[in-house]
Amino acid sequence: MRRPALYSSSRRPTQEPIDQPAPGAQARSPGPVAGVSAFFSWSNPRLLWAALLVLTVLLLVSLSLSLRPSQRRLTQEDINAAVLKTLETTQLPSAAAKAYEAIRPSVVRVTGYGKSKDGKEDVEYGVGTGVVIVDKGIILTNLHVVQGAQTIKVVFSDGLESTAHITGAQPENDLAVLQAHKIPDDMIAATMRSTGDLAPGDHVLAVGYPFGIGPSASAGVISGLKRTFRSPEGKQDIRNLIQFDAAANPGNSGGPLVTMDGEVVGIVTAILNPNQQRSFVGIAFAVPIENAASAVGLTPF
């Protein structure tokens, strides 16, 4: 819609006769138009209110800009404070918990069976632990867990149960190599790590089936290296062992000893029993993974 023309409210005076210029005199230019002059006059109330409105808007904008806080750049102190606050308010998993989750899919329960006296049924005579080191179902365990068994069964972390047979042995280190007859579709083999830089005080985790319960985890430290253990019957000395103080009990035999990264550095093989009660007193031993890997023909680290 077109805006109507704006006019001044003033009235023009009655028009007087226009004098004719004298002959030879220069004609005067007409003066300002009365309507235009009135439109720009401050006596025009519409113009006055419009001016006041413009000034008010400009004043409000100016105040808004002056009151707005200036943005401050983040400093390293701000970042450090934010990280510290997050650490204080967020519960992170422990190193042992992360190591357990890394090794758990590779740990198996190993059970040896023999025939009853009447030869009619299988009887469980030994429970231990094993660890998958090749994803086609090759498992390391202790020889004493499966030696003499007529049937060997393994249970994987997902619950799959399979029979297995011995494919190799290293009696001097109490090691046996098993091949499972069935394996999970998503079988995950453990990661092995050199013991070359292990030192007393390093944190380790022992995972296994103590007394058939598990998988169970116990944490401790490396207590010593290159230890020698004599079997309770005194028939065998096992040398170059890793001594550790993470709790190990009957059933832990053959299980992995892992770092806080979940990498295998040894195979749990024995506990010291000065009282012959087969209970843990704080001293356990593991065969270094270099020896264990050689039992299956794997290249040493």
pLDDT at 85: 82
Domain-located, residue 13: no
Successive 10-residue mean pLDDT values, the chain, 301 residues: 39 48 47 44 61 69 60 81 81 90 97 87 89 95 93 96 95 94 95 94 97 94 94 78 94 96 95 74 92 73 57
- Whole-prediction pTM: 0.70
92 inside domain: no
Told to judge if 203 belongs to the known catalytic residues of this protein, a careful annotator would answer no
Q: How many CA atoms lie within 13 A of 116 on its CB side?
A: 5
Q: Is residue 69 part of a domain?
A: no
> Catalytic residue among 106, 216, 218, 253, which?
253
Tell me if residue 62 is catalytic. Answer: no
* C-beta separation of 215 from 254 below 8 A: no
Specify the DSSP class assigned to residue 249: -
- The pLDDT value recorded for residue 149 is 93
CATH number of the structural domain spanning residue 139: 2.40.10.120
- The verdict on residue 235 lying in a domain is yes
Asked, for residue 268, whether it belongs to a domain, the answer is yes
Residues whose CB is less than 8 angstroms from the CB of residue 217 and which lie 6 or more positions away in sequence, other chains included: 96, 100, 205, 206, 207
Counting Cα atoms < 13 Å in the Cβ hemisphere of 151 gives: 12
What's the total number of domains in the chain?
A: 1
Q: Among this protein's residues, is 9 annotated catalytic? A: no
Beta strands in 201-251 (DSSP E): 203-208, 216-230, 237-244
CB-based contacts of 292, cutoff 8 Å, min separation 6? 133, 140, 170, 173, 175, 266, 267
Domain that holds residue 203: 101-295
3 state SS of 175 = strand
The active-site residue out of 106, 162, 174, 223 is 174
Locate all alpha helices (DSSP H) within the chain, ordered by sequence: 34-39, 45-67, 76-89, 95-103, 143-146, 289-295
Return the residue matching tokens 């029993």: 273
DSSP letter assigned to residue 122: E
